[in-house]
Amino acid sequence: MTDHPRITVLPGDGIGPEVTEAAVEVLSAVGTFDFDERPIGACAVSETGAPLPEATLNSCLEADATLLGAVGTGVPPADPHAPRPEQAVLELRTSLSLYANLRPVRTFPALHSTSPLRPERIEGTDLTVVRELTGGLYFGQRERTSQQAFDTCVYTRQEIERISRVAFELASGKGSRARVTSVDKANVLDTSRLWREVVQDIADREYPEVELEHLLVDTAAMRLVTDPRQFDIVLTENMFGDILSDETAVIAGSLGSLPSASLPAPPNPLVGVRGGLFEPVHGSAPDISGTGSASPIGSILSAALMLRHGLGLSTVANVVEIAVRDVLDKGFRTPDLGGTTTTKEFTRALLSEL
């Protein structure tokens, strides 16, 4: 037993292993960690019969942080009763009590031309969507008959308080530009009215130095693509967060470039919290799996988020993020960004930058 941070590595399916290998190489270049590699998803089903084997879950529960590739094969199972690979991620989120999902979107100057939005509109975008992950419509009571169906949306004060603190902690760590935009539908929904009241309350009592604004979700959706630079920290509930974070993904130009972090329990969830899950936003991309051309950027930036939020190594995280920018500036591009660089070539270039 050593006292190096323990990282469970779950490569998963499709391009998962290819991009995860790159991220592990980067982590190994900037620190000393004990890696424990385990199966998850479709590969775990073929090996053990379960998408999230007990040994895999136990390893994640004991680790300081978990790095995930992607799960799923992109084809519906021949047997509809067979275990679904995607179940593994939902089970993992629940078992690790991950309630805060962070999706930073930063535009790299070198990638402005691949964004569908005009460069002058996105230049300098640096925002993070903070999405509540364990409440709301996804977890409410539901019922369905052939004639009628309902889903209920429930939020408790305590659930709103703890996710608000994550957003405010992030904003107060960012310095003078710190602003939280809380997104809701308070003109229609009672859960949103409670949301707005509680977020305002936490701001007034605990973070008076942070600027807070409230936006309706329809307005937020529009402004995110027309002027993303006005946003800093976007705080929102589960379903709005699901939709808005995919919308913001467009700004970055490629799904392959985006990282995410899912974090468990307070008190200070942003510094060295044990048990977080870090994964690229993209899926298993079966269409390019095995070609060696996947962008490892999302996975490598997820490793950087792990260093910052999971292991309390912010300075090292900055080094990795700057190296990604520099490699892009030198012209290395995987095919999703219009280039011909392979996964391995990109990683090699990054390692020599480090």
138 is a catalytic site residue: yes
Does the protein bind ligand ATP through residue 85 (CB under 6 A)?
no
**CA gap 312, 328 in Å, rounded:** 26
Does the protein bind ligand ATP through residue 164 (CB under 6 A)?
no
Q: Scanning residues 5 to 24, which ones bind ligand ATP (CB under 6 A)? A: 15, 19
Does the protein bind ligand ATP through residue 120 (CB under 6 A)?
no
Q: Which two tokens stand for residue 23?
A: 């991220």
Q: Is 184 annotated as a binding residue?
A: no
> Any idea what DSSP says for residue 66?
E
Q: How many CB atoms lie within 10 A of CB 201?
A: 14
From the list ligand ATP, Mg ion, none, pick the one residue 183 interacts with, judged by a Cβ distance below 5 to 8 Å according to partner type.
none
218 is a catalytic site residue: yes
Least spacing, CB of residue 292 vs ligand ATP, in Å:
11
Does the protein bind ligand ATP through residue 294 (CB under 6 A)?
yes
3-state helix, strand, coil in the chain (%, to 5): 45, 20, 35
**CA gap 310, 258 in Å, rounded:** 18
Q: Is 131 annotated as a binding residue?
A: yes
330 is a catalytic site residue: no
**CA gap 53, 73 in Å, rounded:** 18
329 is a catalytic site residue: no
Least spacing, CB of residue 10 vs Mg ion, in Å:
17
**CA gap 264, 258 in Å, rounded:** 21
Amino acid identity at 81: H
Residue of minimal Cβ distance to Mg ion: 283
- Beta-strand relationship, 142-144 and 126-132: unpaired
Phi, psi (rounded to 5 degrees) for 230:
-75, -10
Q: Is 218 annotated as a binding residue?
A: yes
Query: CB–CB of 313/340 below 8 Å?
Result: no
246 is a catalytic site residue: yes
Phi-psi region of 27 (alpha: psi -120 to 50; beta: other; left: phi over 0): alpha
Site map (CB under 5 A) of Mg ion, residues 264-283, x = contact:
-------------------x
Among 1, 175, 287, 315, binds ligand ATP (CB under 6 A): 287
> Any idea what DSSP says for residue 5?
P
Q: Is 38 annotated as a binding residue?
A: no
Does the protein bind Mg ion through residue 69 (CB under 5 A)?
no
From the list Mg ion, ligand ATP, none, pick the one residue 241 interacts with, judged by a Cβ distance below 5 to 8 Å according to partner type.
none
Applying CB under 6 A, which residues contact ligand ATP? 15, 19, 70, 72, 255-256, 282-285, 287-288, 294-295, 298, 334, 336
Q: What residue numbers does the annotated binding site cover? A: 93, 103, 131, 218, 242, 246
